[in-house]
Amino acid sequence: MATFSSFNFKGLKALVRVDFNVPLNEAFEVTDDTRMTAALPTIRKILADGGSVILMSHLGRPKDGPSEKYSLKHLLPHLSALLGKNVPVLFAGDCIGEQAHLTASMLRGGEVLLLENLRFYKEEESGDPGFAENLSWLADAYVNDAFGTAHRAHASTAVIADFFPADRRMFGLLMEAEVASAEKVLHQSEKPFVAIIGGAKVSDKILIIENLLERATDIIIGGGMAYTFIKARGGKIGNSLCEDDRLQTALDIIEKAQQKGVNIHLPSDSVIADKFDAAAATDIVSSDAVPDGWMGLDIGPEASKAFAEVIKRSKTILWNGPMGVFEMEKFQSGTKAIAEAVAESTSSGAFSLVGGGDSVAAVNRFGFNDQVSYVSTGGGALLEYFEGKELPGIAAITSHT
Ligand code: AMP
């Protein structure tokens, strides 16, 4: 495995797998370019060396081959604007085949070529070696900078690495940073290590909680999933979210945590509502005494305070999932309080990693994104990493000699 920062791309073409799966509006304009800006440092380093960059990505889930809706050509104006007028950005209407190869072969140092959507070929998702080899012919080196798809064994994210010699395949800067921060939390955590797990469903988070029972000092459970635990312990949860088929799982987790000396923290109080609505009537009650017809939609002030204390005495923090329905103003206090505590603990020296969809949206919304150590770009990939699974996109680069 080569190291990106010390690799000199002068005179070379780099095939860079990026995650440009960005949202577009009806006029096909990019409405959130976070994933594009995240790849810029990698692109700029290759160009600065005097190399050329061939970008490949998927966009959406096209079902039957090429379609206008999922064409990466829509990203071209935005990409050109991000890279500035001194960087020529070309587009190939296919990712393999004559046009792609011809355009790639004429590419000069300092130029960028964006390939058409990889998923216009079903061979991308099936991990077809012939398709991967065809892509590999476009360039001299392979750079994987798509952490968001690292959990997929697709042609461009994993299989392709085999077609480059070990000293010509590497992580890009984004992927390096993602892997380093996830490693730091999972394998090199300074104790106490608190994992804050929230969101809607217990079933989505069971594997991650079980893996964290081996490593964490404290596990804070908030959000809708907390009520399955509270009911399992005999609490009255009214109409709160509950997965009745997971009650035993919840009890098993509590028991395993006791055996391993891991502290599980559930919210002692809740903000309850008479309906799932931004204008609902609200009250604050003990989380195990929610009246019939009412539902817990946020952790209460007492729980926020208790959770914040745990967070502030921790040296390593992993946060996945909101503490309540933070999209509605009446139910955002808990998530906000947790964001504040994570930021405060980080400023006193803790390492904090926020990842997985909605918690990232929450820190961004409340303006704490630059007050935590790292905000991951990989939702599903990060979760699978913390479930203890080997990610094909990482293994394809690291497990070769
Ligand atoms: P997840 O994708 O599993 O992380 O869940 C995130 C979603 O869970 C967000 O849209 C929240 O609004 C929702 N959520 C969090 N807490 C609750 C709750 N107490 N009741 C219902 N939904 C919740």
- Lowest average pLDDT, out of 79-83, 228-232, 314-318, 380-384, goes to 380-384
Handedness of CA 225, 230, 232, 237 (dihedral sign): negative
Read off the pTM.
0.92
> What angle do helix axes 34-49 and 76-83 make, rounded to 10 degrees?
50
> Is position 35 annotated as part of the catalytic site?
yes
Is the pLDDT reported for residue 401 higher than 70?
no
Q: Which amino acid is at 156?
A: S
pLDDT digits (tens, 9 = 90+) for 190-222: 999 999 999 998 998 999 999 999 999 999 999
What's the gap in Å between 371 CA and the centre of ligand 1? 23
pLDDT digits (tens, 9 = 90+) for 300-354: 999 999 999 999 999 999 999 999 999 999 999 999 999 999 999 999 999 999 9
Predicted confidence at residue 399, as pLDDT, reads: 78
Q: Give me the residues paired with residue 55 across strands.
A: 16, 114
Pocket of ligand 1 (CB under 6 A): 199-201, 204, 223-224, 241, 296-297, 321-322, 324-325, 327, 357-358
What percent of the chain stands above pLDDT 70?
A: 99
pLDDT digits (tens, 9 = 90+) for 143-161: 999 999 999 999 999 999 9
Q: Give me the residues paired with residue 112 across strands.
A: 53, 89
> Is position 201 annotated as part of the catalytic site?
yes
pLDDT band at residue 400 using 50, 70 and 90 as cut-offs = low
Q: How confident is the model over 38-67, as a mean pLDDT?
A: 97
- Identify the three-state secondary structure at position 58: coil
Rounded to whole angstroms, the Cα distance separating 319 from 311 reads 10
Is the pLDDT reported for residue 82 higher than 90?
yes
What are the strands, taking DSSP E only, across 180-262?
193-197, 218-221, 236-237
Average pLDDT, rounded, for the chain: 96
**Given the residues 50, 60, 110, 357, the one annotated as active site:** 357
pLDDT digits (tens, 9 = 90+) for 236-279: 999 999 999 999 999 999 999 999 999 999 999 999 999 999 99
Contact, 172 vs 46, CB < 8 A?
no
Look up residue 188 and give its two tokens.
């090199």
* CA dist 120 → 80, 95, 109, 161, 390 (Å): 23, 9, 28, 20, 27
Q: How confident is the model over 108-129, as a mean pLDDT?
A: 98
